[in-house]
Amino acid sequence: MNACPPLPAAPLQKKSVHRECIEEENKHKWIESEKAGYDLGEACVKRWVKEHWRGYLRAKWVEHLQGKCFWIELDRGDFGLLQRKFQAQSELLHLILNQLAAGKENLDVIDWAIAHKIGLAPVSEILEALDVNSQRLEHRFDNPPSSNHA
């Protein structure tokens, strides 16, 4: 019996966090405007940004680390990092990623590790490699263009 040849790898998806975010914002604005019965405008989009941008970005970052989707604004070297590192620590990595995806910060993860009597060396190694603090992209509303008053 002949073995089937391996399937070709799916083409790498390359996407923009910012472009995809605009689609999410518009969906949100449309749904909320439909509920209200009128266009809620930019204020609705800004509310989405305030409530969801950070979590949205973190989710895209995790996809990038897992090698599921290449997000062009994120560090090229981080793409697929989780496929190359921490294979022997996959359970700990999964627990840490869940916390980071939920919006926790490095100090929260370290506090969690101490509370659960988990060695800090492997936790620190994972946190340093993930470098969550370098993945803080600004949203277009974060720094509005300044007006020039001469």
Per-residue confidence (pLDDT) for residue 90, from 0 to 100: 86
3-state secondary structure (DSSP) of residue 40: coil
> Is 84 part of a structural domain of the chain?
yes
pLDDT at 149: 44
Residue 110 lies in domain: 14-134
Q: Is residue 89 part of a domain?
A: yes
Q: How many domains is the chain built from?
A: 1
pLDDT at 123: 94
110 located within any domain = yes
Helix axes 90-101, 41-66, angle to 10 degrees: 170
CB contact at 8 A, 141 and 46: yes
| Ranges of H-type helices in the chain | 17-36, 41-66, 81-84, 90-101, 106-115, 120-130
pLDDT of residue 139: 72
Q: What integer pLDDT is reported at residue 86 of this predicted model?
A: 83
| Beta pairing partners, 70 | 14
Q: Which of 27, 45, 64 is CA-nearest to residue 140?
A: 45
Any domain includes 142:
no
| 49 within domain boundaries | yes
Structure tokens belonging to residue 124:
């620190």
Q: Does 95 fall in a domain?
A: yes
pLDDT at 1: 46
Per-residue pLDDT tens for 78-115? 898 888 888 888 899 989 988 887 778 899 999 999 99
The CA angle 15-69-4, to the nearest 5 degrees, is: 130
Domain assignment present for 141: no
Answer yes or no: is 22 within a domain: yes
Residues in the chain, pLDDT under 70: 1-11, 134-138, 140, 142-150
pTM, whole model, 2 decimals? 0.72
